Amino acid sequence: MARRKKLLDQTPARVQNLVALDAALIMRRLEARRDEMFTLFSRLRSREPMLSTISTRFTSATFHDLAHLPEKDQAVVHAFYERLDEMRWYFTYTEDMPSTVQQTFIALYRRLEDAYRLLLVALGPPVTPDAAVVVEVEPVRSPPPSSEVALARPSRRRSSPRPAP
């Protein structure tokens, strides 16, 4: 009984993380394939590179699953997937030439990017597999304690060959 209650308490956070993971993956793929998908569309006249880039990995999510989110989060998630659906519709049914498709994509991408930023604010960034959340950080180096310095292995730096005199 306690285990079931614990799972129910974690459900909203799990749904939030899955949605954040899916959205992050879509945005990463769009950025990585941005140029190549239009090159392939132009050369092959295939819409598949564009459509597969914006495909969602969680197609089985239902209203029942999303009902676990607070109302404000539901609205933000809906807005993101509505922008994504606009892009999907355009890629599926456009008769535009490749250069026009690319220009239209830029406008659609900006709207999707705005919706994604709002989604990240509402849901937070996705949790990585090692349960660490990535945030903006600044590396800080502190000198190791003196006892560790004496025990540390010497670095094996290769020096560049000196020119012959």
User: How is residue 145 annotated by DSSP?
Assistant: P
Residue 122: partners with Cβ closer than 8 Å, 6 or more residues away: 72, 73, 76, 77
**Per-residue model confidence (pLDDT) at position 164:** 58
- Cα–Cα distance, 109 to 142 (Å, whole number): 42
Query: Would the pLDDT of 91 be above 90?
Result: yes
**Per-residue model confidence (pLDDT) at position 79:** 96
User: Where along the chain do its domains lie?
Assistant: 9-56+65-130
**Per-residue model confidence (pLDDT) at position 154:** 53
Q: Is the overall model pTM greater than 0.75, yes or no?
A: no
Tell me the CATH architecture of domain 9-56+65-130.
Answer: Up-down Bundle (1.20)
Query: Would the pLDDT of 64 be above 80?
Result: yes
Mean pLDDT, the chain, integer: 82
**Per-residue model confidence (pLDDT) at position 137:** 47
Tell the burial category of 70 from Cβ atoms under 10 Å away from its Cβ (0-12, 13-18, 19+).
exposed
Residue that wins the pLDDT comparison between 42 and 129 = 42
Percent of the chain with pLDDT over 90: 61
Nearest to 37 by CA among 52, 15, 25: 52
